[in-house]
């Protein structure tokens, strides 16, 4: 009986070790959003998913140069925690060499604000954190310029622009392009990922507040406001 108990204990110990080794780098618990912090899930992942982790580049299938930037662990392969300037991620998004620049031409380069956000995240420790706003999601009087276009710019135009490729035939860099996707009943179906259209973004999903804001704007007639 003692031998059986000892075997059981050893088996359980081995099982727990295997689980621990195979687990992805720990994601910190969800916390209230701190306006002074940069969060991987909310702030950094959408930039990389939209501009770098695309088919033919650094998605889970293509893995150009062996990099899969759809996951935190994949991103950390080119990041030195707390050392932005020494991180390969910083170097490839800021280089003047078109052969090394990410995303490569003719794709639109990251904006100064996006690069600054990435650098701040790295400098803060490049943690795998996610936050949740405690305030109620505001879906009233949605403005295309103020509310909707920023969501699309951050999450969609890497695949839906004249420089990045008009996937599905939609250029979402302009109101006209966005409205055409609304008219075709594609925009909401894509971001809601309800099966009625190709999911967008392809490797993740917008948080529910952003989805609700897009729906509210569409329900109001998708005005160019």
Q: Stretch 196-202: mean pLDDT, rounded? A: 85
Main-chain dihedrals φ then ψ at residue 23, nearest 5 degrees: -75, 140
- Measured CA distances, 50 to 111, 121, 159, 199 (Å): 13, 17, 7, 13
Task: Return the structure tokens found at 208.
Answer: 């529910």
Q: In the chain, what are the domain boundaries?
A: 31-131, 137-219
What percent of the chain has a predicted confidence (pLDDT) above 70? Answer: 84
pLDDT for residue 2: 47
Q: Stretch 162-185: mean pLDDT, rounded? A: 84
User: What is the model's pTM?
Assistant: 0.68
Tell me the average pLDDT of the chain: 85
Pairwise CA distance, residues 199 & 217, whole Å: 19
Question: Are 125 and 81 spatial neighbours (Cβ–Cβ below 8 Å)?
Answer: yes
Residue 22: beta bridge partners? none
pLDDT tens digits, residue range 84-137? 999 999 999 999 999 999 999 888 899 999 999 999 999 999 999 988 876 678
């Amino acid at each position: 009986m003692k031998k059986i108990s000892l075997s059981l204990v050893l088996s359980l110990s081995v099982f727990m070790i295997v689980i621990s080794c195979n687990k992805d780098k720990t994601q910190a618990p969800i916390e209230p959003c701190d306006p002074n912090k940069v969060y991987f899930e909310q702030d950094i992942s959408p930039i990389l998913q939209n501009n770098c982790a695309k088919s033919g580049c650094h998605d889970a299938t293509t893995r150009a140069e062996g990099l899969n930037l759809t996951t935190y662990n994949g991103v950390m392969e080119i990041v030195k925690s707390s050392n932005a300037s020494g991180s390969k991620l910083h170097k490839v998004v800021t280089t003047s060499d078109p052969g090394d620049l990410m995303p490569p031409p003719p794709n639109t380069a990251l904006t100064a604000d996006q690069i600054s956000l990435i650098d701040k995240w790295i400098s803060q420790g490049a943690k795998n954190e996610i936050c949740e706003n405690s305030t109620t999601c505001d879906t009233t009087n949605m403005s295309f310029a103020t509310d909707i276009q920023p969501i699309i710019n951050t999450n969609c135009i890497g695949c839906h622009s004249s420089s990045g490729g008009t996937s599905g035939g939609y250029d979402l860099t302009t109101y006209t392009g966005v409205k055409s996707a609304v008219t075709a009943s594609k925009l909401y179906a894509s971001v809601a990922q309800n099966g009625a259209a190709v999911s967008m973004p392809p490797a993740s999903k917008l948080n529910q507040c952003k989805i609700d804001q897009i729906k509210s704007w569409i329900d109001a007639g998708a005005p160019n406001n």
